Amino acid sequence: MKYKYTTEGGHNGSGTLSDAQSPSPIYNLGSSGGNGSIADQNSVVNMHVEWDGGTEEMELMPVNPRK
C-alpha cells in the first residue's frame, strides 16, 4: 500500500506499507518508514491511498479535543 498526505498547515508526507499479515486492519503511519512531518492535531489531512491497483482519496477531519 502506498500513501501520500497533505495538511492545511503545509505538512506533507508519503510512504509505503508492506503486505505484512496482521489481525488488525489498522496501520500506524508513524512507524511505516515514510517521510514527512506530523500534522497538527487540529489540521484537516487530505489522504491519497493506492493498493492492489485501486486508489482512494479521503479527507480526515480532526476530532474535538478532549477536555
> How many C-beta neighbours within 10 Å does residue 15 have?
15
The confidence band for 55, taking pLDDT boundaries of 50, 70 and 90, is very high
Q: What is the pLDDT of residues 30-51, one digit of tens each?
A: 544 555 556 667 788 899 999 8
DSSP 13-27: EEEE------S----
Residue 56 has pLDDT above 80, yes or no: yes
Count of CA atoms in the C-beta half-sphere (13 A) of 1: 16
pLDDT, position 54: 92
Query: What integer is the mean pLDDT of 2-9?
Result: 86
Question: Could you tell me the three cell numbers for 61?
Answer: 477531519
